[in-house]
């Protein structure tokens, strides 16, 4: 599965592992329902995405779904931590950081613990 929910987030953080190529179905079936459930529970979103070595990006429909999600929920994000992303993905993350109202940080994979601490704090 290209987008797998992680249970380490507890109640405060919505967390995922990204691998392979993300599709629109990953957004519709995995990401969006979990984000909307967290919003319904109250508060702003805290998200951690662990990008593994096999991550290759998005197909075109998933890229559009990602853009729409960022725009629709731009005021709902408090913190987003992206861990282990390749250099090109870090550039994409910085661009997304211009759209969302919350804070977005990238972390090297060996700093996963620091990312968890930051996104929870």
The token duo for 63 is 């890229």
98 pLDDT tier (thresholds 50, 70, 90)? low
Question: What is residue 87's predicted lDDT score, i.e. its pLDDT?
Answer: 65
The token duo for 26 is 């990953």
**pTM for this model (two decimals):** 0.86
Please name the residues in contact with 117: beta carbons below 8 A apart, sequence gap of 6 or more: none
The pLDDT tens digits of the residues spanning 3-26 come to 999 976 666 799 999 999 999 899
The pLDDT tens digits of the residues spanning 31-63 come to 889 988 888 888 889 999 999 988 888 888 887
CA distance 77 to 30: 17
């Amino acid at each position: 599965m290209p987008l797998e929910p992680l249970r380490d987030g507890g109640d405060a953080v919505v967390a995922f592992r990204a691998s392979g190529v993300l599709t629109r179905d990953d957004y519709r079936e995995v990401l969006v329902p979990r984000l909307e459930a967290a919003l319904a529970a109250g508060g702003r979103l805290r998200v951690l995405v662990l990008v593994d070595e096999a991550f290759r990006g998005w197909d075109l429909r998933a890229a559009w779904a990602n853009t729409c999600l960022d725009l629709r929920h731009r005021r709902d994000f408090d913190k987003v931590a992206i861990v282990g992303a390749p250099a090109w993905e870090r550039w994409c993350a910085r661009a997304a950081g211009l759209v969302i109202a919350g804070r977005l940080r990238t972390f090297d994979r060996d700093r996963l613990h620091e990312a968890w601490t930051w996104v929870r704090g």
